[in-house]
């Protein structure tokens, strides 16, 4: 009777317990700082009401985002999401490694102890044999000496060997202690719970379902990153668009189809409601602060940020405060406006300077240059810009990916077949139809001797180099998606996985650029148009020129209009020097005004063995006060932007050619007042 009561008590719990169903992640759409997960599960339902539970899921699921598809005629009565703190979790790879090392060392200690035991037994046998020999037979002096010498040597060797073995055991025990401490640290680290989705079904009949489950998770994202490569002047510029992907969702993504999206579903999508504003004396209105349209995304892999802070005219701002938001970690810019700051524990930088508007920007790059805006009533957008200009490059493309027809064996004979190189790999026997033209990102024909020499007779009929698309771009109303063609596995440990989105070959223009009023270094730059078609986002760019790493820059499409310019590094073979001419009239006075005459000379020399194109920029001050007058402007050979006061020289210098350029102006302002030129 007691057994029957116990059965009746527990039976309802057993009957209504949800079945645990395995599921697998099939695809992931990755946003700036979240991800949409799509997983599949196969299950069989009996007629009526039943429950299933999907276990070992991420603990960071947004419950309101859970969607279920593939129900057929089955209805869902309820969906619940819970965290399971009791689920047995497997050991981490580090813990498994520590356990393996501890077991190996323990085995080695056991073997050493066995050796010691054997040596102790040998010592006992020697001692016993020595006593037996002395009691059973009379020994002369020589035999006693020989036996004594043997026993002394052997026992001493045994003692020494046991001593050395014990030393080894002590060292190994210390190793085990250290490993156990590390293992204890891992075990003491709070383990994350596992997420569980429980679904209650109502099935009109027994059926099988291929269930599709989707939801959004936090602590995942991707950061754009670029490689800019040029072999030499007048070669095409190669831009590789990459994504640095990370996730700490508590669940590994194994061999999933990955899509990278430029949008962010977590932004507040509710439109603002603007009401009337009424004025009255003595009334103090409170206003909600304006929400900035920040397009920069936080990059969690950045540890240190460096950069230059300038005013709107490009002059450095020494003493500008740079602070990691929400912390007391900060620094100030030096005399040249430069700063360097450890940002491992922050997500945003706050820039502030007396007389200028403060600016707050997500830490999106290890190189963040900022131009602060003067604190005036007119509010203008402040953007981060990369330091650089432009340069000329001529295209050597044999065609573009659109409208390309690859001729194979069916149209030309095998004996006249060129060598095809697909994504850097020579492909023997390449045939027409082996590669869809829609898969081609770039195609180039090589006929130069150096290229043909690398591949020998295989390239007797020329070389065709093809770069394939690594992703498919899908344009949506408020979003752009890059569907990566290759499946990827992304660990949940937060480490960065670099994924190539696509590589573009760009028609670029190379030039050398200098603004000696700010920096007398000469920068090689490359500029290109039609960058809008590439769906670029702000991010770091690694620069490679002539096969050598040249440094980093930033690509910021939000600060560019028609033409994008990137700096490829400093060229020390070109010298530019700016100096002020001696002018003794600079301290003269006219009536109640002081008069300053300024003349500047810019000296240039091309020490390179080739001719170059060089752009030089300088400026003439612009008065914002009617009492300050800028007159007698002489620009000579420079083009002059009267609105901005900018001077530009576009020069062509032969090898070892020297030249100079001059400009001058006069400033008048009232005595007793001060201005800064």
pLDDT digits (tens, 9 = 90+) for 176-227: 888 888 877 766 555 678 899 999 999 999 999 999 999 999 899 999 999 9
Q: What is the pLDDT of residue 575?
A: 94
Q: What is the pLDDT of residue 446?
A: 79
**CATH of 304-372 given 2.60.40.1120, 2.40.50.100, 2.30.110.10, 3.50.50.60:** 2.60.40.1120
Architecture, CATH, for domain 574-670? Sandwich (2.60)
What ranges in 56-194 are assigned the alpha helix state H? 93-136, 141-188
* Residue 589 parent element (H or E): strand 589-590
**Distance from C-alpha of 238 to C-alpha of 228, rounded to nearest angstrom:** 6
What are the φ and ψ backbone dihedral angles of 558, each rounded to 5 degrees? -80, -15
**Beta pairing partners, 222:** 245
Q: Residue 112, Cα to own-chain centre: how many angstroms?
A: 50
**Does position 488 have pLDDT exceeding 60, yes or no?**
yes
Q: Which has the higher per-residue pLDDT, 391 or 160?
A: 160
Distances from the Cα of 420 to the Cαs of 289, 471, 580, in angstroms?
59, 21, 59
Q: Which has the higher per-residue pLDDT, 139 or 323?
A: 323
Q: What is the pLDDT of residue 245?
A: 94
Q: Which has the higher per-residue pLDDT, 325 or 387?
A: 325
Give the whole-number percent of the chain exceeding pLDDT 90.
Answer: 32
Q: What is the pLDDT of residue 551?
A: 83
- Mean pLDDT: which of 237-246, 372-381, 586-595 is highest? 237-246
Q: What is the pLDDT of residue 301?
A: 82
HSE-up of residue 309 (Cα within 13 Å, Cβ side): 29
**Does position 134 have pLDDT exceeding 70, yes or no?**
no
Q: What is the pLDDT of residue 676?
A: 77
Model confidence at 498, pLDDT cuts 50, 70, 90, reads very high
Q: What is the mean pLDDT of residues 500-527?
A: 90
Residue with tokens 């498919």: 472
Q: What is the pLDDT of residue 649?
A: 96
DSSP sequence for 601-637: EEEEEE-SSS-EEEEEEEE-----STT-EEEEEE-TT
Structure token digits, residue 556: 């910021």
Q: What is the mean pLDDT of residues 2-16?
A: 40
Q: What is the pLDDT of residue 265?
A: 72
Q: What is the mean pLDDT of residues 612-622?
A: 93
Model confidence at 663, pLDDT cuts 50, 70, 90, reads very high
Distances from the Cα of 410 to the Cαs of 113, 429, 444, 459, in angstroms?
75, 12, 21, 19
What is the spatial order of strands in the sheet that 463-468 belongs to?
399-400, 440-446, 463-468, 419-422, 425-427
**Does position 557 have pLDDT exceeding 50, yes or no?**
yes
Model confidence at 655, pLDDT cuts 50, 70, 90, reads very high
Residues 152-162 have pLDDT tens digits of 888 888 888 88
Q: What is the pLDDT of residue 386?
A: 31
Residues 223-269 have pLDDT tens digits of 999 999 988 887 888 999 999 999 999 999 999 999 999 877 755 55
Q: To 10 degrees, the CA torsion angle through 253, 258, 264, 270?
A: -90
Q: What is the mean pLDDT of residues 607-633?
A: 92
Q: Is the dihedral of CA 351, 317, 550, 401 positive or negative?
A: positive
How high is the mean pLDDT of the chain? 80
């Amino acid at each position: 009777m007691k057994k029957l009561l116990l059965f009746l008590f527990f039976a309802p719990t057993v009957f209504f317990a949800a079945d645990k169903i395995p599921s697998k992640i099939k695809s992931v759409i990755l946003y700036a700082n979240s991800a949409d997960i799509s997983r599949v599960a196969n299950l069989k339902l009996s007629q009526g009401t039943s429950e299933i539970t999907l276990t070992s899921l991420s603990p960071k699921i947004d419950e309101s985002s859970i969607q279920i598809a593939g129900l057929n005629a089955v209805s869902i009565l309820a969906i619940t999401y819970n965290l399971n703190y009791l689920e047995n979790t497997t050991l981490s790879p580090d813990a498994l490694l520590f356990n393996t090392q501890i077991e190996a060392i323990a085995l080695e200690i056991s073997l050493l102890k066995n050796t010691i035991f054997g040596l102790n037994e040998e010592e006992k046998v020697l001692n016993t044999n020595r006593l037996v020999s002395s009691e059973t037979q009379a020994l002369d002096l020589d035999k006693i000496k020989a036996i004594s010498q043997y026993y002394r040597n052997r026992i001493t060797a045994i003692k020494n060997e046991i001593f050395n073995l014990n030393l080894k055991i002590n060292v190994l025990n210390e190793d085990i202690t250290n490993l156990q401490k590390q293992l204890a640290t891992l075990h003491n680290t709070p383990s994350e719970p596992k997420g569980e989705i429980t679904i209650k079904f109502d099935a009109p009949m027994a059926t099988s379902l291929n269930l599709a489950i989707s939801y959004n998770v936090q602590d995942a994202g991707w950061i754009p990153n670029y490689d800019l490569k040029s072999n030499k002047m007048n070669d095409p510029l190669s831009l590789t668009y990459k994504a640095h992907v990370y996730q700490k969702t508590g669940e590994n993504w194994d061999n999933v189809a990955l899509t990278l999206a430029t949008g962010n579903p977590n932004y507040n999508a509710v439109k603002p409601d603007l009401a009337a504003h009424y004025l009255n004396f003595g009334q103090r209105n409170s206003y909600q602060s304006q929400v900035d349209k920040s397009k920069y995304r936080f990059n969690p892999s950045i540890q240190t940020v460096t950069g230059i802070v300038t005013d709107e005219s490009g002059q450095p701002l020494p003493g500008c405060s740079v602070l990691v938001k929400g912390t007391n970690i900060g620094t100030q810019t030096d005399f040249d406006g430069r700063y360097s700051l450890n940002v491992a524990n922050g997500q945003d930088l706050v820039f502030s300077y007396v007389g200028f508007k403060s600016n707050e920007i997500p830490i999106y790059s290890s190189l963040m240059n900022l131009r602060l805006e003067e604190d005036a009533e007119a509010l203008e957008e402040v953007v981060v810009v990369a330091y650089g200009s432009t340069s000329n490059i001529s295209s050597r493309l044999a065609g573009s990916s659109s409208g390309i027809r690859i001729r194979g064996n069916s149209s030309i004979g095998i004996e006249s077949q060129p060598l095809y190189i697909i994504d850097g790999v020579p492909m023997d026997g390449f045939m027409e139809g082996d590669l869809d033209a829609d898969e081609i990102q770039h195609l180039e024909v090589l006929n130069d001797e150096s290229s043909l020499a690398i591949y020998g007779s295989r390239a007797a009929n020329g070389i065709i180099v093809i770069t394939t698309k690594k992703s498919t771009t899908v344009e949506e109303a408020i979003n752009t998606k890059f569907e990566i063609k290759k499946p990827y596995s992304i660990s949940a440990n937060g480490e960065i996985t670099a994924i190539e989105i696509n590589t573009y070959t760009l028609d670029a223009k190379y030039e050398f650029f200098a603004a000696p009023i700010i920096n007398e270094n000469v920068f090689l730059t490359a500029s290109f148009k039609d960058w809008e078609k590439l769906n670029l986002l702000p991010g770091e760019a690694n620069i490679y020129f002539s096969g050598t790493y040249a440094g980093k820059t930033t690509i910021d499409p939000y600060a560019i209009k028609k033409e994008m310019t990137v700096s490829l590094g400093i060229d020390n073979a070109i010298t530019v020097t700016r100096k002020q001419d001696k002018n003794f009239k600079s301290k003269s006075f006219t009536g109640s005004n002081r008069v300053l005459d300024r003349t500047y000379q810019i000296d240039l020399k091309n020490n390179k063995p080739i001719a170059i194109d060089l752009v030089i920029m300088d400026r003439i001050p612009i008065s914002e006060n009617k009492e300050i007058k800028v007159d007698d402007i002489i620009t000579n050979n420079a083009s002059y932007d009267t609105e901005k006061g900018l001077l530009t020289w576009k020069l062509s210098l032969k090898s070892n050619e020297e030249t100079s350029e001059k400009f001058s102006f006069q400033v008048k302002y009232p005595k007793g007042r001060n201005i800064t030129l």
